[in-house]
Structure 1
Amino acid sequence: MKGSARLLKDEEIAEALGRLDGWKLEENKRIAKKYLFPSFPEAISFVQKVAEIAEAQNHHPFIAIDYRKVTLRLTTWHSGGLTGLDIAAASAYDGLLAK
């Protein structure tokens, strides 16, 4: 996986968020995005694909499923905040919808 576990500086976070569509900074230590799907099965299918990427990257998001809405939150717990690992994961998850 691209990205490192080094904590990002504020300006690096701002730049990364400018490249990511719809991701928001929460409490200056994690990023989050809500995805809305046409149906519950499509939401679950997306979550399954997210899980496969997370396992391959060994970097797992917080996932909340509320019917057709899926919320993902990313932080690097062992580093104490946002790192390149989170940005790379967010980009990979967004890429699932571009296919």
Structure 2
Amino acid sequence: MEKMPVDAADEAIASLPGWSRQDEKWMQGGYRFPTFMEAIAFVGRVAAIAEEMNHHPFIGIDYKKVTLRLTTWHAGGLTELDMQSARRYNEAFKAPAPGNG
């Protein structure tokens, strides 16, 4: 996948609630949860998606907040794969946790 021009990346990120471009190479999204265990369960869902897509985010866990950072190393910046990953993570955030819905 080819690196996206900055304006195209900005346009794509604008359609992803909770995500922002950090610089030309990175985008970041944040998710808040009612409990620590719900945050950890979400990280498990992120891990499953990342494995399926073979595209892995940097994950930060701060009690009830999860921060994800994305880039595509071999492209030297943001690609459509990062946008697809962010969309999937947003969908996983909206979906009820397994056993809760």
Tell me the TM-score normalised to structure 1 length: 0.92
**Which of 46, 49, 72 is the matching residue for 2:45?**
49
Q: Is the 8 A contact 2:25 2:76 kept in 1?
A: yes
CA RMSD of aligned residues (A): 0.8
Structure 2: which 5+ residue stretches go unaligned?
96-101
Q: Does 1:60 align with 2:56?
A: yes
Higher relative contact order (CA 8 A, sep 6+): 1
Large movers: runs of 4+ above 4 Å: none
Q: Does 1:27 align with 2:27?
A: no
**Which of 87, 90, 98 is the matching residue for 2:86?**
90
Tell me the TM-score normalised to structure 2 length: 0.90
Structure 1: which 5+ residue stretches go unaligned?
none
Query: Aligned partners of 1:6 and 1:28: how far apart in 2?
Result: 13
**Which of 32, 39, 43 is the matching residue for 2:35?**
39
Identity of aligned residues (%): 49
Matched pairs, number: 95
